[in-house]
Amino acid sequence: MTDTSQATIPERYPFSAPDRLDLDPRYAELREQPLVRVRLPYGEPAWLATRHADVRTVLGDARFSRAAAVGRDEPRNSPRQQETGILAMDPPEHTRLRRLVAKAFTARRVEELRPGTRAVADELVDGMLAAGPPADLVAHLATPLPIRVICDLLGVPVSDQDRFHTWSEAIVSTTSLAPEVAQQYIDSLLAYMGGLVARRREEPADDLLSAMVRARDEHADRLSEEEMVMLAAGLLAAGHETTVTQIPNLVYVLLTTPGAWATLRERPELVPTAVEELMRFIPLGATAAFPRYATEDVELGGVLVRAGEPVVCSIPAANRDGTVFPDADRLDLTREVNPHLGFGHGVHHCVGAQLARMELRVVLETLLDRTPGLRLAVAEEELSWKSGLLVRGLRALPVAW
């Protein structure tokens, strides 16, 4: 075991600007080494974990704390430090809040939403087909579908989508928004959710937001008003933002990987396995975020992480670890053993993972069924990619069929 926390000069991180969905080759080099010291654009230096075993440990071991980041100059990608609500909590506080919403995202509840989601997907594809090629898959399908699903689940008027979708960018922005604009968007989102909470008190409905209001009003010791509003806003933003981004990523990879779309067209039963493989293969995260702080000295990957030191994890790098995933840099739509970390791990494992899986499967099943000849409508180099965000994604995906 080595103690190099004071002996090495932190390497600048991210190593390079995200290029489409390509991983920087530095990650492959680092997986052959112990942890490395890095310095993000803002905050104190941190350890970077890139290997699957190390990342699982940091995300799943109680000795690594998210709550300990509060009040620290935590390593981050944007100049502002924002209150991240449940993402900044450890058990038991984290458990208390998560229990209030977890029942809405169980596998059984999500399966009940599948027929309605397929109906929405068919309706949106109808509109895309009517518009005629070329059509932007982002605007016609990838953006409205997750928004409509999360609105129905939470009890948020879908007619307000233009406003809250704009505000939600503040949750994933690093440099795409000026700090004052990002804060304004967050404030607007919280104020909007506060207004919906007040409405649900007067007019309860069969939705998650009404259930949260009942929990707050009947058991005030379990949930403060501020916690409820922040939790609801976080669910609304996170419940659609990453899926909106990941749907075009999936389709792009399938259309640009030789034989991939044809394989699913010929074997549609592979869609569930393909979704898991695409979640592993696609480096959705543009950079590491949400550092964990060691609460005691911990040996990790042969390196001593001292109490009080932060560790950031590269999930995309861990998902390409060849010791866990044979031929890790190849997209294998038939890969059956796939312990990827695309939805995180540990107590902060994405509460909406089952919902996202269902939406991604429904989208692929619908497109394979309705547009089997789907293809890019422009040259690959003409595609425009987002920048300044925690996630990688396309601004538009023009397709034909």
Q: How confident is the model at residue 99 (pLDDT cuts 50, 70, 90)?
A: confident
> Contact, 212 vs 231, CB < 8 A?
yes
> Contact, 278 vs 250, CB < 8 A?
yes
The CATH-assigned architecture of domain 11-400 is Orthogonal Bundle (1.10)
Question: How many angstroms separate the CA atoms of 10 and 46, rounded?
Answer: 8
In this predicted structure, what is the pLDDT of residue 144? Answer: 96
Length of the chain: 401
Q: Is the pLDDT of residue 68 over 90?
A: yes
Higher per-residue confidence, 375 vs 19: 375
Higher per-residue confidence, 223 vs 383: 383
Q: Is the pLDDT of residue 4 over 80?
A: no
Give the residue extent of every domain in the chain.
11-400
Q: Is the pLDDT of residue 2 over 80?
A: no
pTM across the whole model: 0.93
Cβ partners under 8 Å of residue 345, min gap 6: 55, 56, 59, 60
Cα separations (Å) of 181 from 76, 92, 149, 153, 192?
A: 18, 33, 27, 28, 16
Q: Is the pLDDT of residue 241 over 80?
A: yes
Question: How many angstroms separate the CA atoms of 304 and 297, rounded?
Answer: 7
Q: Is the pLDDT of residue 36 over 80?
A: yes
Q: Is the pLDDT of residue 393 over 80?
A: yes
Share of the chain above pLDDT 70, in %: 98
Q: Is the pLDDT of residue 3 over 70?
A: no
Q: Is the pLDDT of residue 8 over 80?
A: no
Torsion sign across C-alpha atoms 365, 368, 374, 379 = positive
* Residue that has been written with the tokens 């002996």 in this structure: 7
pLDDT in tens, 309-354: 999 999 999 999 999 999 999 999 999 999 999 999 999 999 999 9
Element (H, E) at 127: helix 107-131
Average pLDDT over residues 243-255: 97
Q: Is the pLDDT of residue 84 over 90?
A: no
In this predicted structure, what is the pLDDT of residue 117? Answer: 97
In this predicted structure, what is the pLDDT of residue 139? Answer: 97
Q: What is the DSSP string of 264-280?
A: HHH-GGGHHHHHHHHHH
Average pLDDT over residues 238-243: 88
Cα separations (Å) of 125 from 74, 133, 144, 268, 367?
A: 43, 12, 11, 18, 8
Higher per-residue confidence, 117 vs 228: 117
In this predicted structure, what is the pLDDT of residue 269? Answer: 97
Q: What is the mean pLDDT of the chain?
A: 93
Average pLDDT over residues 389-396: 95
* Residue that has been written with the tokens 């890139």 in this structure: 50
In this predicted structure, what is the pLDDT of residue 219? Answer: 79
Average pLDDT over residues 131-145: 96
> Contact, 47 vs 36, CB < 8 A?
yes
pLDDT in tens, 183-216: 999 999 999 999 999 999 999 999 999 998 988 8
Structure tokens at 171: 């949750």
Cα separations (Å) of 7 from 3, 106, 241?
A: 8, 47, 40
Q: How confident is the model at residue 5 (pLDDT cuts 50, 70, 90)?
A: low
Q: Is the pLDDT of residue 390 over 70?
A: yes
For residue 189, report the phi and psi dihedrals to the nearest 5 degrees: -65, -45
pLDDT in tens, 360-378: 999 999 999 999 999 999 9
> Contact, 268 vs 275, CB < 8 A?
no
> Contact, 366 vs 145, CB < 8 A?
no
